[in-house]
Amino acid sequence: MNNTWYIIINPTSGGGKTKKKINKILKIISQYNLIIKTVNTQYPHHEEELVEKAIKLGYYNFICVGGDGTIHHMINGIMKQKHIDTSEIKLAVIPTGTGNDWVKNYNIPKDPKKFLSELDRYDLDGIIVLFLDKVGTGSGMDLEFLEELRGMSVHPMIFGGGIRGLEDLDRLKNIGMDGALVATAVHNGKIPLDLLS
């Protein structure tokens, strides 16, 4: 089995807005030290073909970047293939469509507080709270809001987005965060690499 995450991107989803967001999405994904392979859909229903070919090559971990149609066709590809049991396949979704009904139908709340309380029902290794609009900016964080979120979950929690330096790491530790994503602060020399573990 290949541990690479195979990312299928529909650049036309969301009225073409996905194409504009993809670099930011991939930058965020790269912070998780995942091995990834990306491919763009070229025509309608292309997702099904891409999924089946990827599974034949040993890829079992997928990320869908697109809307309801993209998700639908990826799931069809997973269900139609005959190479492995579908329970062996993981599918993550980054919804970038206009309606995102799939996410709504599974009652995945947009409100982060509601979402965190839903996650407490599952046995998770941890939760990553990521402020997408602050990734790579070093512009600071809303500590009061983060402290409220930290108190709402039983799971270990890691934060990313806007961390400026060591003082922010101390603040996160003081409110009970279990870790932080600090790639930009390290790259900019605000957090020494030798302090990280």
Residue of 13 and 2 predicted with greater confidence: 13
Maximal C-alpha separation, the chain: 53
Residue of 152 and 169 predicted with greater confidence: 169
Which residues make up the CATH 3.40.50.10330 domain(s) of the chain? 2-105
Task: Give the full edge-to-edge strand order of the sheet including 157-160.
Answer: 127-130, 157-160, 179-181
For domain 2-105, give the fold. Rossmann fold (3.40.50)
Render pLDDT for 3-62 as a digit per residue (tens, 0 to 9).
788 999 998 888 888 888 888 888 777 767 778 889 999 999 999 999 999 999 999 989
Query: Taking the chain, what is the end-to-end CA distance rounded to the nearest angstrom?
Result: 29
64 φ/ψ angles, rounded to the nearest 5 degrees: -100, 125
Which residues make up the CATH 3.40.50.12600 domain(s) of the chain? 112-189
Task: Report the distance separating Cα 150 and Cα 159, nearest Å.
Answer: 10
Asked whether residue 1 carries a pLDDT value surpassing 60, the answer given is: no
Could you say which of 3.40.50.1970, 3.40.50.12600, 1.10.8.60, 1.20.210.10 is the CATH number of the domain covering 112-189? Answer: 3.40.50.12600
Do 66 and 8 contact (CB within 8 A), yes or no? yes
